[in-house]
Chain A
Amino acid sequence: MIEGIGLEYFLILSTIVFFTGIYGFLTRKNLITILMSTELILNAVNINFVAFNKYLYPEKLEGQFFALFVIAIAATEVAVAIAIIISLYRRLKTIDVEKANEMKY
């Protein structure tokens, strides 16, 4: 708990980060940027976990554990996603999502 800074500031920050991520996820065509946007979304959630844990249930640790868990999952997810993107690039010579439409018709 940090003196003088209320819970609502953390929530406002996480909301901003979350919608930044959503915006990037929806508008960007570059796969790497889309991946980065999903990381932003996950981090917004992490901020919420830690903040709620600290301000509402300071005697418990579940929120912090969950944040650590999400970080670990995010790391593996990045590994898998990067692998996919690399193999896609080798095949198509591009990482633009709209160009990856070979299976469409």
Chain B
Amino acid sequence: MESFGYTVLIPVILFFSFIFIGLAGGKMNKYLSGIIGTVSLLTVTVLSYYTAYSYFFVYGKAGGVYQKIIPFQTEWLRFSEKLYIEMGVLLDPISVMMLVVISTVSLMVHIYSIGYMKEDMGYERFFSFLSLFTFSMTGLVIATNIFQTYVFWELVGVSSYLLIGHYYDRPSAVAASKKAFIVTRFADLGFLIGILILSNITGTFDFKILTDPDGSAITQGSSVAFMGLSVMTWALILVFMGCAGKSAMFPLHIWLPDAMEGPTPVSALIHAATMVVAGVYLVARLFPLYALSAPVALHLVGYVGAFTSLFAAAIACTQTDIKRILAFSTISQIGFMMLGLGVSGYGGENGLGFMASMFHLFNHAMFKALLFLCAGSIIHAVHNNDMNFTGGLRKFMPVTHITFLIACLAIAGIPPFSGFFSKDEILVAAFEHDKFLSVVMFAVAGLTAFYMFRLYFTVFWNKDTQYQKTPHESPKVMAYPLMFLAAASALTGFIPFGNYVTADGSAVETPFHWNVAVPAVAVSFAGILLAMKLYKKESDMPAKISSSLGELYKIVYKKFYIDEIYIFVTKNIIFKYISVPVAWFDRKVVDNTMNGIAALTNFVSVKIKSFQSGQLQQYAYVMVSGMIVLILIALYFMKTF
């Protein structure tokens, strides 16, 4: 049995890299900080791969079932005999898989950023925050207890905030970073309350105890009812609220499209591949609880995922900003993963959805990071985010073109690219579990293919735009990560995921359903063909179609006015009827009470200040007169006169 003790080095190395670049970055050669960040990430990647190898192939199994291994655990805060918080490393199939995903994508983003951020003023700051983010994210996935998750959950939120606001001289970036932070923080309020309820009814924070399918935590809390649902269900719904905030599920998705104000590598790392799937990861982490003791909450997860998926896919079809299309596509794909969890059962044949969801998470991280890095490459070349200003780029940027095409094929679910396998398995799970949801997801699969190829054809084919400066292919340091991720997107579908990552640790059969796969691929091809017809050559058909749809198109284009509704609710209702009176009360009543007390004290002090003269004789005079008065009073009452 190997100890796995070295896994604790993964976050520690990243933390020191963050501290070192953050403190010393300004004093040394600018590019050295990028090199240091990349080298520490490379070390972490090697460690993660080694961990994955020894966990999955050598030491992880006991009796054919992957075990939860805790190689390191230390007490961090002890409040009382029962209430204490630990920090540690928990290895199980999903955390090891996440380590691989995070380190791979982060390493690619680091290498890519060396080239992409070359001209940038905040180069050292950028790399230091990248290290901070990767540290927080690894800490999150290896958490041994839900409180550690919460701590790192907030840390990734902070690093996301810092990185979205990287161009802090742009008002839109500042607004976007604040929006992201406030929306996720609001959702985390639910998460925190959920944690408190959950730990209150089970008496523990520890994941190993919480998610033991034979343990007592599963059954506790299901007997006490509140408003028709068990307390456990409420707790898990609240935890899911936090997940929905982080993973940009409807209606808390509004921050993710705006978060694209950050540098593109950040969007690739944080807002596509790793942080936004933290919500999916947490639901997967608590999956035994969801599946066995709160099926209502799990249904909610599934329906929210499916609705968000359809909703975001529809919006993605109408947007023109390259990064925003990808952002809505991310929301849609995360909806897919949530749906996969929602239609899954625990263990055995029923566990297909869980496995498919994790598989999709893995593949999505690769191809979505690739899509974002390609988008960064395009933006780097033409200096514009709007796809209507591009066209015919295939001649200028062959590497970006091919890798982007591979990523589009992967996300559209065309065999043999990776997205096909995971999406197909999610569809199978949905098909077996809930026919209605599976129909929705087929529609989403078609839409996905359509909007991705709409983007692809508009950028790389379509009209031959006259550029002010001839676009150029990105430098090698940016091209190699694209190639690596393209290879990953093309090949990871062949990993027999069912053998490794499952809800209960034992292998699950991944049957190939022709009756699901064939229609799914057909729908995707239909989407691609439609996009090709509309966008491959310059034409006025798209404009005609959108104008014939009229109001409907406008509503979708305006993202269903969700942002406007939020602004209306906050400005016109919350601010006007709650915040303004509260502010008035604070300024007039609370402040004036305090000012009044201070003024009174001041007034009295000025009056009695002269008593404190420091003249001993004056004190003695007062003392003697007081004594005489006291003696006279005493004599009067003793009636000796």
Contacts of B620 in A (CB 8 A): 25-26
Size of the A side of the interface (Cβ < 8 Å), in residues, is: 10
Complex Cα distance A3/B614, Å? 50
- A26 to B615, Cβ gap below 8 A? no
**Residue in A closest to B618 when the chains form the complex, CB atoms:** A26
B-binding segment of A70-78, A86-94, A96-104: A96-104
Is there a chain B Cβ closer than 8 Å to A35's Cβ? Answer: no
Is there a chain B Cβ closer than 8 Å to A95's Cβ? Answer: no
Contact of A97 among B616, B621, B624 (CB under 8 A): B616
- Closest chain-B Cβ to A94's Cβ sits at a distance in Å of 15
Is there a chain B Cβ closer than 8 Å to A22's Cβ? Answer: yes
Complex Cα distance A104/B616, Å? 12
- A97 to B617, Cβ gap below 8 A? yes
- A26 to B616, Cβ gap below 8 A? no
- Closest chain-A Cβ to B631's Cβ sits at a distance in Å of 13
Chain B residues with a Cβ under 8 A of chain A = 614-617, 620-621, 624
Complex Cα distance A36/B154, Å? 76
**Residue in A closest to B616 when the chains form the complex, CB atoms:** A97
Complex Cα distance A26/B627, Å? 14
- B614 to A22, Cβ gap below 8 A? no
User: Knowing A22-B624, A26-B624 touch, does A104 contact B617 (C-beta < 8 A)?
Assistant: no
- Closest chain-B Cβ to A77's Cβ sits at a distance in Å of 16
Contacts of A104 in B (CB 8 A): 614
Chain A residues with a Cβ under 8 A of chain B = 22, 25-27, 34, 97-98, 101, 103-104
Chief secondary structure at chain B's binding surface = helix
Contacts of B624 in A (CB 8 A): 22, 26
CB-defined A-B contacts under 8 Å, sample of 7: A22-B624, A26-B620, A26-B624, A27-B617, A98-B615, A101-B614, A104-B614
Complex Cα distance A26/B628, Å? 15
- Closest chain-A Cβ to B16's Cβ sits at a distance in Å of 52
- A26 to B614, Cβ gap below 8 A? no
What 13 additional pairs, Cβ within 8 angstroms, besides A26-B621, A97-B615, A97-B617? A22-B624, A25-B617, A25-B620, A26-B617, A26-B620, A26-B624, A27-B617, A34-B617, A97-B616, A98-B615, A101-B614, A103-B614, A104-B614
**Residue in B closest to A34 when the chains form the complex, CB atoms:** B617
- Closest chain-A Cβ to B610's Cβ sits at a distance in Å of 13
Complex Cα distance A97/B617, Å? 9
Complex Cα distance A103/B614, Å? 9
Complex Cα distance A104/B615, Å? 10
Complex Cα distance A26/B622, Å? 10
Complex Cα distance A22/B617, Å? 10
Contacts of B615 in A (CB 8 A): 97-98
Complex Cα distance A98/B616, Å? 9
**Residue in B closest to A25 when the chains form the complex, CB atoms:** B620
- Closest chain-A Cβ to B626's Cβ sits at a distance in Å of 13
Contacts of B617 in A (CB 8 A): 25-27, 34, 97
Contacts of A97 in B (CB 8 A): 615-617
**Residue in A closest to B617 when the chains form the complex, CB atoms:** A26
Contacts of A103 in B (CB 8 A): 614
Contacts of B614 in A (CB 8 A): 101, 103-104
- Closest chain-A Cβ to B605's Cβ sits at a distance in Å of 15
Complex Cα distance A22/B620, Å? 9
Complex Cα distance A27/B615, Å? 12
**Residue in B closest to A103 when the chains form the complex, CB atoms:** B614
Complex Cα distance A14/B210, Å? 89
**Residue in A closest to B621 when the chains form the complex, CB atoms:** A26
Contacts of A34 in B (CB 8 A): 617
**Residue in B closest to A23 when the chains form the complex, CB atoms:** B624
Complex Cα distance A104/B614, Å? 7
4 pairs of A and B residues whose beta carbons are closest in the complex: A104-B614, A26-B621, A26-B617, A26-B620
Complex Cα distance A103/B615, Å? 12
